[in-house]
Chain A
Amino acid sequence: MKKKITFLLNSETRSIEVESGDILLDVLRDKLGIKTPKIGCDMGDCGSCTVMLDGKTVKSCLVLALEVEGQEVTTLEGLMKDGMTPLQQTFHDFNSFQCGFCTPGMVLSATELINKNPKPNRKEIQEALSGNLCRCTGYIPIIEAVEDLIGKGKGEGKEKG
């Protein structure tokens, strides 16, 4: 069963025809060319497909494309309308990534956290990011970047050249 959906994707109204069984993640990647949400597990466990739906992070592999009719989907592409965000810059300065595959999802989850709770403590940061798996970094550089951004870091934020 094909249906047309219309929704806001990174502040732009998009209309597209989808099948009832189409998953938001696949539609974004394969039909709309939005590649930053990644396929990691396809079962909602790894967080690499994270996107924001009406401002809240969701696992886009667990959302039917039909469900987002009339809603607003934001991906990393949308976050960067005016270039890299301060959070991304801090991630860069702290080497808060290695292979970079989990990075888009991690950035979105961290962004949601500081939008909601501008001064999280370490435990709150850990909890907020615990749905995004990273196999490379051991998470510490990610947590430290968030702490630095909100002014709770150890002052190790470095100028890199």
Chain B
Amino acid sequence: MSILQDFDYFKPTTIEFAIDLISNNKNATILAGGTDLIVNLKEGTATPEIVVDIKSLKDLKKIEFKDNCLIIGALVTFTDLLESVVIKEKFPLVWEVSKTVASVGIRNRATMVGNICSAVPCLDSGPLLCVYEADVNVRSSKGKRKIPIKDWFLGNKKTALKHGELVTHISIPFPNQKTGGCYVRLGRYCGEDLAQVNVALLAFANNAYRIAFGAVAPTPLRANKIESFLNGKKINDHLIEQAKELIPDEISPITDIRATKEYRMHMAKVMFERGIKTAVERLNGDGLEYGESLV
């Protein structure tokens, strides 16, 4: 089915020209993997006048680890992440999340930057980047800007990206101590599904914890109360039970076609429990291998 809306297509070869195009046109949209955009164009929910395909901007295709920081360029697909040695070794949680995104044919095209720019509440990358306290790096004609992930998501499909800005990459600081991570995602079946609840957890060697939920509020969110309750403590069953009691204060799930708020709330607790245990186990060098589903 062709797209009904007429638009102009550009494939700039320099980042400057790309930025020119999006700054000088009120109704421009960026095309990277296109797995969300093309659907929106077909459905008529996106009606841009110009589409700027950034796939010729080779600089944005980089996965780089330098100065203790991971750079994920705007053109890096989930398949690229899965195939990267540095990801598998240093950021196994990024690998675990990437593995749950859709299916191969989508992962070969879809990018993590595209994922956070679409900013749907159930996005897989959201909780992950929250627990890593990543930054979103954007460029415009005015220069560069670094947006902490906590300030990035403004609402359902709303981000802090301003007119004329292009996301160039995500940067993830490498934790300065040993971590164990876990990503748990709830689907209606084993195949590709939009998460009904997702949670990313990172346990640090010094008994610090970072926890972020997705699909249970308009944006992904850090579970600050749970984190401060747990921080400094060694995880045990009793502690987990207490922490679970805090979950209703943290999240506000809704009932929709995919799940009821009751089940979402229930599963958030189950997933938190299983996730935190696994994260700690992984921190200690055992536990399930990364990539194994906990639900």
CA of A53 to CA of B55 in the docked complex: distance in angstroms? 14
CA of A151 to CA of B34 in the docked complex: distance in angstroms? 37
- Judged by a CB distance under 8 angstroms, whether A157 is at the interface is no
- Judged by a CB distance under 8 angstroms, whether A99 is at the interface is no
Contact in complex: A21, B2 (CB < 8 Å): yes
Complex partner residue of B38 from A19, A45, A63, CB under 8 angstroms = A63
Chain B residues with CB under 8 Å of A1's CB are 6-9
Residue of B nearest to A55 (CB): B108
Residue of B nearest to A25 (CB): B1
- Judged by a CB distance under 8 angstroms, whether A57 is at the interface is yes
One digit per residue, 1 when the CB lies within 8 angstroms of any chain A CB and 0 when it does not, for chain B 1-39 equals: 111111111010000000000000000000100110011
- Judged by a CB distance under 8 angstroms, whether A20 is at the interface is yes
Least CB distance from B24 to A in Å reads 17
- Judged by a CB distance under 8 angstroms, whether A144 is at the interface is no
One digit per residue, 1 when the CB lies within 8 angstroms of any chain B CB and 0 when it does not, for chain A 59-74 equals: 1011110110100000
- Judged by a CB distance under 8 angstroms, whether A3 is at the interface is yes
Least CB distance from A134 to B in Å reads 12
Residue of B nearest to A26 (CB): B2
A67 in contact with B6 given A58-B105, A62-B109 (CB within 8 Å): no
Q: Which of A33-69 contact B (CB under 8 A)?
A: 39, 42-45, 47, 50, 53, 56-59, 61-64, 66-67, 69
Least CB distance from B246 to A in Å reads 35
One digit per residue, 1 when the CB lies within 8 angstroms of any chain A CB and 0 when it does not, for chain B 217-253 equals: 0000000000000000000000000000000000000
Interface of A is mostly: mixed
CA of A128 to CA of B103 in the docked complex: distance in angstroms? 7
Q: Which of B162-196 contact A (CB under 8 A)?
A: 190-192
CA of A59 to CA of B36 in the docked complex: distance in angstroms? 12
A62 in contact with B9 given A23-B2, A57-B104, A131-B102 (CB within 8 Å): no
- Judged by a CB distance under 8 angstroms, whether A103 is at the interface is no
Complex partner residue of B108 from A20, A57, A127, CB under 8 angstroms = A57
Contact in complex: B9, A66 (CB < 8 Å): yes
Chain B residues with CB under 8 Å of A47's CB are 103, 105
CA of A1 to CA of B2 in the docked complex: distance in angstroms? 13
A: residues with CB less than 8 A from B are 1, 3, 19-23, 26, 39, 42-45, 47, 50, 53, 56-59, 61-64, 66-67, 69, 109, 112-113, 127-128, 130-132
Q: Can you list 5 pairs linking A and B with CB atoms under 8 Å apart?
A: A1-B6, A23-B38, A47-B103, A66-B11, A109-B104
